[in-house]
Amino acid sequence: MSHKSFVAIIIGLIVVAILAMLVVSQSRREVVKPEPVMDDQSGEMMTPEEVVEPTPSALPQGKINVQVACESALMYTTFTDGAAADAFVAECVEGKHPDVIDRYIESLGVDGATI
């Protein structure tokens, strides 16, 4: 086998591989039309384009768990030992660190007035 025929075979294999990749990628790009879904409130059929996902502000709001809010502050606050961290959480639950609660509410992405 000559050098020229070897190079031609390699180039041919590369071209075949590229064509195969194009065929596979094109088959993955085929768009499948989504099925209609039933609206829970109105009972009407809706196309997926009409379905609106609720935003955090549209979700039902409730009270926050102060213990969870205070414990979440342990992620961004440093303490000398576990006893100091426990004391901080206890003080926070008592209301001595309102900034922690405000930061927790802000991290939820909701308006504090709605809670």
C-alpha to C-alpha distance for 98 and 4, rounded to whole angstroms: 79
Which of 69, 79, 78, 75 minimizes the C-alpha distance to 99? Answer: 69
Amino acid type, 27: S
Q: Is the pLDDT of residue 103 over 70?
A: yes
Q: Measure the CA–CA gap between 102 and 111, rounded to whole angstroms.
A: 10
Contact 73, 91 (CB under 8 A): no
More confident residue, 38 or 99: 99
Q: What is the pLDDT of residues 41-85, one digit of tens each?
A: 666 776 655 555 555 554 545 688 899 999 999 988 888 899 999
Instruction: Return the percent helix, strand and coil in the chain, to nearest 5.
Output: 60, 5, 40
Contact call for residues 114 and 61 (beta carbons, < 8 A): yes
Q: Where are the domains of the chain?
A: 3-30, 59-114
What confidence score (pLDDT) does residue 28 get? 60
